[in-house]
Amino acid sequence: MDPRFAQWLALRGLGSRKDRVADIFDEVEEDLRAERMKRLLARYGGLLAGLMLLVVAGVAGMQGWRWWQSRQAAQVAGTYLAVNKAAAEPGADAGASADRFAALAAEAPPGYRSLARLRAAALKAEAGDRAGALALWDEIARDGSVDPLYRDLGTVMWGLHSLGEGDQAAIESRLAPLAEGPWRASVQEIRALAALGRGATEEARQLLTELTTNPATPQGVRDRAGKLLAGLGG
């Protein structure tokens, strides 16, 4: 075929027979795809529409749940602050305040539940209910659903208020796993007091000295350690 004639045919969409056959197959394939889509929609269109509605409803439900959680958290925060403020008022009944925190803990989401339980235990101790406070701190310390930070604080408070009673070595043993955690300074202070309780003065002096010389020790803990050291003769 004359090249110029072939070019003329190509410009008018009339290329070789092979090209025309390929174009026809492409058109047929496209038509078949369209036909299959029509059949799918005819057969499953209702189901697909239902699935889409479920997806939309699921997204809306999740947004609604998050809004409800946020609203509940805000309400609990307000209640927590109000109960805490009332407990701090001069002459406030510590036992009654502990009961209010316990009631709040029963309905609060996880974070505020742990805080309310810790405050309830502290107020029980303040009211003279040492056994009740120790039981609650121990319960928090052993509760796997509680955030590890609060769980460890429960152990620290249990250890602090167990000093002077029972086996002091057992208190130190229970606190030992927390020696490198975020409560390490408080743990070391309690260990020093427990050592004093069982007559291990030199061990207590060493622990207290470490607290006073460690720049990471909180100021309050450092001050108390210094006073104890002074009482031991430095």
Looking at residue 53, its pLDDT comes to: 52
Cα 136 to Cα 129: distance, rounded to the nearest angstrom: 11
Looking at residue 33, its pLDDT comes to: 57
Q: What DSSP assignment string belongs to 198-228?
A: TT-HHHHHHHHHHHHH-TTS-HHHHHHHHHH
Neighbour count for residue 93 (Cβ, 10 Å): 14
- Helical packing angle, 184-197 and 148-162, nearest 10°: 20
Cα 44 to Cα 184: distance, rounded to the nearest angstrom: 63
Looking at residue 194, its pLDDT comes to: 92
Looking at residue 80, its pLDDT comes to: 86
**Each residue's pLDDT expressed in tens, for the chain with a length of 234 residues:** 444 434 433 444 444 444 444 444 455 455 555 555 555 556 555 555 555 555 555 555 555 545 445 666 678 788 888 988 998 899 999 999 999 999 999 988 888 899 999 999 999 999 999 999 999 999 999 999 999 999 999 999 999 999 988 788 889 999 999 999 999 999 999 999 999 988 899 999 999 999 999 999 999 999 999 999 998 886
pTM of the model: 0.68
Going from the C-alpha of 185 to that of each of 167, 179, 191, 217, 229, the distances in angstroms are 22, 8, 10, 6, 16
